[in-house]
Amino acid sequence: MDETTVKLSVPLSEEVIDLSSLDQQAQRHYAKPMLLFKLDHKGIRDPVIRHLQNGLSAALSETPDFASTVAPVPGSTRKELHLRINPESGASWRVVDYTNEQHKDAWPFGSFDELAARNFPFTDIPAERLVNPVFLNIPDDVRELPSLGIQLSLIDGGIVMAFCWHHTVSDARGANVLLSSWARHTRASILHGKPDDPVTPEEETRERWRLNYGTANARIAQVPDYVVDAGARSPLSAGSMHLLDREDPTQAPFNISTWYFSAEALQSLRDALGGAADSGALFTPVEAACALLWKHVSRARLLDAGGDATSLFTTRLEFRARLRPPLSGDYIGNICEPNARARMPLSEVCSVATGTSLATLASAIRTATEAVDDSTVRNYIGLINSLAAVTDLTWDYNGFPGPDFGVTDLSGLDVLRTDWGPSLGAPVCLRLAYREGGLLYLFPIDRQGGLEAQVLCEPEAADRLKADDGLTQYATLRG
Cβ atoms of 340 and 348 within 8 Å: the answer is: no
Contact between 413 and 329 under an 8 Å Cβ cutoff? The reply is: no
| CA atoms within a 13 Å half-sphere pointing along the CA-CB vector of 450 | 16
Question: Which helix H or strand E contains 117, and what residues bound it?
Answer: helix 112-117
- Burial (CB count within 10 angstroms: exposed 0-12, middle 13-18, buried 19+), residue 454: buried
Q: How far apart are CA 28 and CA 167, in angstroms?
A: 6
| Active site annotation includes 166 | no
87, 64 in Cβ contact below 8 A?
Answer: no
Distance CA 479, CA 475 (A): 12
Secondary element (H or E) of residue 465:
helix 459-466
Pairing of strands 90-97, 476-477: unpaired
Q: Indicate left, alpha or beta for 389 from its phi (over 0: left) and psi (-120 to 50: alpha).
A: beta
Tell whether omega for the bond before 401 is within 30 degrees of 0, i.e. cis. Answer: yes
User: Could you tell me if 388 and 78 are in contact, meaning their C-beta atoms sit under 8 angstroms apart?
Assistant: yes
Phi-psi region of 452 (alpha: psi -120 to 50; beta: other; left: phi over 0): beta
Cβ pair 205, 332 in contact under 8 A: yes
Describe the chain by its helix, strand, coil percentages, rounded to 5. Answer: 35, 20, 45
Question: Choosing from 51, 82, 167, 242, which is the catalytic residue?
Answer: 167
Report the distance separating Cα 431 and Cα 429, nearest Å. 7
What are the residues whose beta carbons fall under 8 Å from the beta carbon of 467, sequence distance 6 or more? none
| Separation of alpha carbons 270 and 284, rounded Å | 7
Which amino acid is located at 245 in the chain?
D
Are 310 and 188 within 8 A, CB to CB? no
DSSP assignment of 363-382 equals HHHHHHHHH--HHHHHHHHH
Cα–Cα distance, 391 to 245 (Å, whole number): 9
Catalytically annotated residues:
167
